[in-house]
Amino acid sequence: MAAIFQGVGAAAALSSSPSNSFDSKKLLFSPRRSFSVKKGASVVVVRSDGNVNLDLNPRGRRAQQLIANAVATKADSSATSSSSKPGHELLLFEALREGLEEEMERDASVCVMGEDVGHYGGSYKVTKGLATKFGDLRVLDTPIAENSFTGMGIGAAMTGLRPVVEGMNMGFLLLAFNQISNNCGMLHYTSGGQFTIPIVIRGPGGVGRQLGAEHSQRLESYFQSIPGIQMVACSTPYNAKGLMKAAIRSENPVILFEHVLLYNLKERIPDEDYICNLEEAEMVRPGEHVTILTYSRMRYHVMQAAKTLVNKGYDPEVIDIRSLKPFDLYTIGNSVKKTHRVLIVEECMRTGGIGASLTAAINENFLDYLDAPIMCLSSQDVPTPYAGTLEEWTVVQPAQIVTAVEQLCH
């Protein structure tokens, strides 16, 4: 299973998310649009690993048709000559740690608080080694008291510190809901702009492997109406590091949603300093027939379904929305205007989830461009069962995505 994730993850990294920071520095990383024509020669796909050697590297010319590239078996291209590729390979949790570490080095007011983040190294190893490097005052092990340590993080943020509060599992942050909603989200407003709360609240959520109902919650649906916070969901090592850094640098409170099952994704990321826009969606795979909007783990289910869809002759455009609040209606809108059909694939529950809000937002803004009603595939409105087969049917599976696209496009 991990291997598939790696392959799919790598292919999914073929994104055109613009990043100004290293835009024109090297030819390797110039405009990351999948269809840039280089030197008047054949169409080349600039992959995230930056392989642009047109003439020398026969693999570079393989990407004639963008469609075929959607699920290009990146695995074999990375098997050879990995040493000559720039950047470094790492797992998603390591990418998060790298982002966190770089920001902590850059700014002394960044500190981390959470349960077992210090000496234990973090339950998902995101903060491993940071306590020995930065000391106990900057990487703080808290007792199991989410309400109060989240409140303390917010209080510290009011004075100008930039705490990164970790919920060991997003579900535990329900205990801190009051602090997140009333104090974190609203203080900038109720104080008339006097206080900013540059806090980052992060943690893994989502349905895992038979973790049970209480440890498989999707808190993005509960937090989405809190005014004043921004929510982002990372899905690849590249955007995990980028979003972590952007979130720490942002003056607004940001909630960064990670996913329990994505921590071991491997990808090659650039060596340079880069961040990802917090408010921007990522174009995973451009297409013509249907816009599929997704985020976090469901991105991989979508890409798996995309493989099948491509074989069946469809051309889905896959967008990882990344920014759950506010929605990047600019990218989404442009896509809707192109394809006229929308499918939302999410892990939230049907009722009141991110998909529900996104459906409403698109309907409100782009109704004229839609040829068919928006379809939204979400998890069932049930507590996540323990049994493996039942759990599988709680979340959206690739087969359902394929059926949905067929329905939408026929």
Partner 1 sequence: MALSHLATSSSRSAALLRPLSSSIYLRRPISTDTTPITVETSVPFTSHQCEAPSRSVETNPKELLTFFRDMALMRRMEIAADSLYKAKLIRGFCHLYDGQEAVAVGMEAAITKKDCIITAYRDHCTFVGRGGTLLEVFSELMGRQAGCSRGKGGSMHFYKKDSNFYGGHGIVGAQVPLGCGLAFAQKYSKDENVTFALYGDGAANQGQLFEALNISALWDLPAILVCENNHYGMGTAEWRAAKSPAYYKRGDYVPGLKVDGMDALAVKQACKFAKEHALKNGPIILEMDTYRYHGHSMSDPGSTYRTRDEISGVRQERDPIERIRKLVLSHDLATEKELKDIEKEVRKEVDDAIAQAKESPMPEPSELFTNVFVKGLGVESFGADRKEVRATLP
Q: So which residues are the catalytic ones?
A: 146, 215
| Residue with smaller CB distance to partner 1, 160 or 388 | 160
Q: Does 205 bind partner 1 (CB under 8 A)?
A: no
Looking at 41-49, 80-88, 143-151, 339-347, which segment touches partner 1 (CB under 8 A)? 143-151
Q: Does 154 bind partner 1 (CB under 8 A)?
A: yes
Residue pair 285/265 in contact (Cβ under 8 Å)? The answer is no
Angle, CA of 165, 238 and 402, to the nearest 5°: 105
Distance CA 252, CA 78 (A): 38
Residue 131: CB minimum distance to partner 1, A = 14
Residue 391: CB minimum distance to partner 1, A = 33
Which are the contacts of 300, defined by CB distance < 8 A and separation ≥ 6? Answer: 5, 8, 9, 12, 235, 262
Q: Which of 16, 77, 235, 277 binds partner 1 (CB under 8 A)?
A: 277
Q: What is the per-residue binding string for partner 1 in 80-119, x denoting contact by CB under 8 A?
A: -----------------------------x-x--------
Distance CA 340, CA 337 (A): 6
Residue 394: CB minimum distance to partner 1, A = 31
What's phi and psi for 258, nearest 5 deg? -105, 175
Q: Which amino acid is at 212?
A: G
Q: Hey, what are 136's tokens?
A: 């106990």
Q: Does 188 bind partner 1 (CB under 8 A)?
A: yes
| Residue with smaller CB distance to partner 1, 30 or 147 | 147
Residue 37: CB minimum distance to partner 1, A = 23
Q: Which of 42, 148, 380, 397 binds partner 1 (CB under 8 A)?
A: 148
Angle, CA of 29, 31 and 35, to the nearest 5°: 115
What's phi and psi for 348, nearest 5 deg? -70, 170
Q: Which amino acid is at 16?
A: S
Distance CA 107, CA 134 (A): 12
User: What does the DSSP assignment read for 115-171?
Assistant: TT-SSS--TTSTTTTHHHHH-TTTEEE--S-HHHHHHHHHHHHHHT-EEEEE-SSGG
Distance CA 357, CA 220 (A): 11
Q: Does 255 bind partner 1 (CB under 8 A)?
A: no
Q: Does 271 bind partner 1 (CB under 8 A)?
A: no
Residue 272: CB minimum distance to partner 1, A = 11
Q: Does 196 bind partner 1 (CB under 8 A)?
A: yes
Binding residues (CB under 8 A) for partner 1: these are: 18-21, 109, 111, 137, 140, 142-143, 145, 147-161, 178-179, 182-183, 187-196, 227-228, 230, 242, 246, 249-252, 274-280, 325-330, 333, 365
